[in-house]
């Protein structure tokens, strides 16, 4: 759906925001672009959408070059920008019709009604943008981006500063779009959103793509699990015959902790039988799995 080849961006002040970015986005996938502030996420999205001109390299959307065939390329795109950018004296409804008009497409009230209902904006359709709260304005940004029925939707931090309810709704909207075959590219600082939605994850830092990987594989490869065994009787030290790697005693001596890689030959059976042989009894157990967030922090810190 999107092919980015050798893209560099140096802004007019000399700042290099994108360095040799090569990336392919498949049709129908949800791709989460993660990276710290200033990493180049918005710059990359802006380059694909035609808002920022790459210094070098090429980008195609649906096979159309974003510079040579910009009309065709842009007609496939919906963008929910990071910054609130709306005509405050317009109503919600006219924002929708106006946006669709930009693409030279016929007015479609039934479509607007559906979109506004999906985003709980139907009762605000005749309200002026200036009379909406911040979270509602963000909903309007999402609604507006859908008016041209895009094949590719960009969501640049769509849930910054919104309440739990809108985040839920937004997740639902994305899932429904995915079902209909829309390609979605999402940037977010709420990594649990990427964890819930994304098929693939890309990590960008300092303008460079550091990693692109299937989310499930990434979490398997980098993920750790911790098994914690709550002891019946407190211990002062780990018994000397428990020598397995990854095993430790909690500071307060009430738990034995075992950290292991997910999916691997875990060694739990031998740990449990060794504990039994050492005469250690436990009351209860918990397991905890590392999140995409921890993986992300580890990767960015490594860089």
Ligand X SMILES: Nc1ncnc2c1ncn2[C@@H]1O[C@H](COP(=O)(O)OP(=O)(O)OP(=O)(O)O)[C@@H](O)[C@H]1O
CB 230 within 8 A of CB 283: yes
Q: How many alpha carbons fall within 13 Å on the CB side of residue 44? A: 36
Residue closer to ligand X (CB basis): 37 or 301: 37
The verdict on 102 binding ligand X (CB under 6 A) reads no
Rounded to an integer, what distance in angstroms lies between the CA atom of residue 285 and that of residue 241? 21
For the CB of residue 237, give the shortest distance to ligand X in the complex, in Å: 46
For the CB of residue 82, give the shortest distance to Mg ion in the complex, in Å: 5
Task: Find the part of the chain contacting ligand X (CB under 6 A) among 36-44, 142-150, 177-185, 248-256.
Answer: 36-44
Site for Mg ion in 32-61 (CB under 5 A): 41-42
The verdict on 37 binding ligand X (CB under 6 A) reads yes
For the CB of residue 11, give the shortest distance to ligand X in the complex, in Å: 3
Question: Taking Cα atoms as reference points, which of 250, 260, 256, 252 lies closest to residue 284?
Answer: 256
The verdict on 17 binding ligand X (CB under 6 A) reads yes
Tell me, by CB under 6 A, how many residues bind ligand X. 13
Residue closer to ligand X (CB basis): 41 or 200: 41
The verdict on 42 binding ligand X (CB under 6 A) reads yes
Strand segments (E) across 144-293: 152-156, 183-187, 200-205, 208-214, 224-231, 247-249, 255-261, 282-289
- Span between the terminal Cα atoms of the chain, in Å: 29
Residue closer to ligand X (CB basis): 10 or 127: 10
The verdict on 11 binding ligand X (CB under 6 A) reads yes
Determine the length of the chain. Answer: 303
Strand segments (E) across 194-249: 200-205, 208-214, 224-231, 247-249
Rounded to an integer, what distance in angstroms lies between the CA atom of residue 105 and that of residue 101? 6
- Which residue among 7, 39, 166, 170 contacts ligand X (CB under 6 A)? 39
The verdict on 159 binding Mg ion (CB under 5 A) reads no
For the CB of residue 170, give the shortest distance to ligand X in the complex, in Å: 17
The verdict on 43 binding ligand X (CB under 6 A) reads yes
For the CB of residue 33, give the shortest distance to ligand X in the complex, in Å: 8
Token pair of 43, please?
A: 């710059």
* Residues at the contact surface with Mg ion, assessed by CB under 5 A: 41-42, 82
């Amino acid at each position: 759906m999107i092919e980015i080849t050798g893209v560099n961006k140096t802004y007019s002040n000399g700042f290099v925001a994108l360095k040799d970015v090569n990336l392919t986005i498949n049709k129908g996938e949800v791709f989460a672009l993660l990276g710290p502030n200033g990493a180049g996420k918005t710059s990359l999205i802006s380059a694909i959408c035609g808002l920022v001109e790459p210094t070098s390299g090429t980008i195609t959307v649906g096979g159309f070059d974003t510079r040579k065939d910009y009309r065709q390329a842009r007609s496939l795109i919906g963008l929910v920008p990071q910054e609130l950018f709306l005509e405050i004296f317009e109503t919600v409804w006219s924002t929708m019709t106006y946006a669709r008009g930009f693409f030279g497409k016929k007015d479609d009230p039934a479509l607007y009604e559906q979109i506004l209902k999906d985003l709980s904006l139907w009762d605000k359709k005749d309200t002026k943008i200036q009379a909406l709260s911040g979270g509602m304005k963000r909903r309007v940004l999402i609604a507006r981006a859908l008016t041209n029925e895009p094949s590719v939707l960009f969501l640049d931090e769509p849930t910054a500063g919104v309440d739990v309810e809108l985040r839920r709704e937004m997740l639902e909207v994305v899932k429904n779009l995915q079902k209909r075959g829309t390609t979605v590219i999402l940037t977010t600082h709420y990594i649990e959103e990427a964890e819930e939605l994304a098929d693939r994850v890309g990590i960008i830092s300092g303008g460079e793509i550091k990693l692109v990987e299937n989310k499930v594989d990434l979490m398997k490869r980098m993920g750790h699990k911790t098994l914690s065994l709550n002891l019946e009787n407190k211990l002062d030290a780990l018994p000397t015959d428990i020598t397995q790697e990854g095993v430790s005693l909690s500071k307060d001596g009430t738990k034995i902790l075992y950290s292991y890689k997910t999916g691997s030959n875990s060694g739990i059976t031998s740990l449990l039988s060794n504990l039994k042989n050492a005469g250690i009894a436990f009351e209860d157990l918990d397991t905890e799995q590392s999140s995409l967030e921890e993986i992300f922090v580890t990767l960015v810190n490594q860089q």
